[in-house]
Chains A and B, each alone.
Chain A
Amino acid sequence: MTAPRELDPVIHAQARLRVVATLNTLGEANQIAFPGLRELLGMTAGNLSVHLGKLEEAGYVEIVKTHKGRTPTTYVSLTREGRRAFEDYTAAIRELLDLE
């Protein structure tokens, strides 16, 4: 078993990696509503909230609370640092695989 070196610990975790991969696919300048993200990931609301909290703490995601009509809505998007971290992580993983 390889001990991964220099892999970003924030996203070197299955759930958070999937969150970041999903947000990255949405493309820059796009935000997704919390329920939509939950649906794409198949996670429970509680679980997703915890992971989003950790990603927000690291500065990788931006969480905007707003109102759609009268209903409060939460939108999530990847920050520039988050996008960079995901790209670096993917590159690091590919490098590791090439070395093996």
Chain B
Amino acid sequence: MDPLEDDDRPLRPEEMLRLIEEQQATTSKRLGGDPLLTYTPWGIAWAVGFGALFLNYTYGFLPRGAALSVLFSLMILALAISSFAQRTVSSQVRGESAERGMMYGFAWMFGLGGMIALGVRLSPQLPADETGLLWAAGSMTVVAALYIAGGAVWRVRTMFYLGAGVAVLNMIGVVVGPAAHALLMSVGAGGAFVAIGVVQRVRRDGA
């Protein structure tokens, strides 16, 4: 049979309804990007980077600068991977949602830019441990606020709760001190983001 005519043929109502639901689910899934690439790279960056920083504070393993470099390089890599994951199909869409995505991308750039400027300016004035905390807590404040904002922009509760969770752990860490902060970020924030990425991917593929 001609595939076009086959396409044209209606099905029974319940099959047509299922067709609608399946197509809507596929579309949202593809536009939303791969959760494994969206969340997990951040989780790995923090688990490893803050893990290295914790080992430095507690046991003196690794030079401080090396631990911070590992953390920031992995975060830049995570930012690249997660923005790439969002851009696959959504780069084909123009209009309101593309504009939102672009503005949100700028929020990351300006937020992290401001944090870097602050770090560069204040680092020489601070004791060594506090310098590490300034960079770590400053960048996590930006991350937490932007995840919460991302949850609001796209109405994604997972993003909102992840951001709020990071914000709380970040505040506790700052109050307790550099080593506790590194541990909370490594295990708490890192673990949560790795787990959410994996769980959502498995759930998505199973659905």
Interface residues in chain A, defined as those with a beta carbon under 8 Å from any beta carbon in chain B: 1-2, 4, 7, 12-18, 21-22, 24-33, 35-37, 39-41, 47, 50-51, 75, 77, 90, 93-94, 96-97, 100
Contacts and interface: CB of A to CB of B under 8 A. Distances in A.
B89 interface: yes
Given A14-B7, A21-B24, A4 B13 contact: yes
Interface stretch (B26-34, B102-110, B117-125, B127-135): B26-34
Q: Which 5 A-B pairs give the minimum distances between C-beta atoms?
A: A36-B92, A15-B7, A30-B95, A29-B96, A25-B27
Interface stretch (B14-22, B57-65, B142-150, B175-183): B14-22
Given A29-B95, A30-B97, A90-B20, 8 more contacts: A1-B12, A2-B12, A21-B23, A22-B27, A33-B94, A40-B27, A51-B7, A93-B13
Nearest to A29: B96
B13 A97 contact: yes
Contacts of B30: 39-40
A42 B111 CA distance: 39
B202 interface: no
B203 interface: no
Interface of chain B, main secondary structure: helix
A21 B25 CA distance: 10
B4 interface: yes
Contacts of A39: 30, 89, 92
B17 to A, nearest CB: 5
B1 interface: no
B45 to A, nearest CB: 30
A41 to B, nearest CB: 8
Contacts of B24: 21-22, 24-25
A15 B24 CA distance: 14
Interface string B190-202: 0000000000000
A75 B94 contact: yes
Nearest to B92: A36
Contact of B23 (A13, A18, A31, A33): A18
B169 to A, nearest CB: 34
Nearest to A47: B4
Contacts of B94: 30-33, 75
A36 B98 CA distance: 14
A17 B8 contact: no
B9 A14 contact: yes
Contacts of A14: 7-11, 16, 19
Nearest to A25: B27
A52 to B, nearest CB: 13
B3 interface: yes
Contacts of A37: 92
A26 B20 contact: no
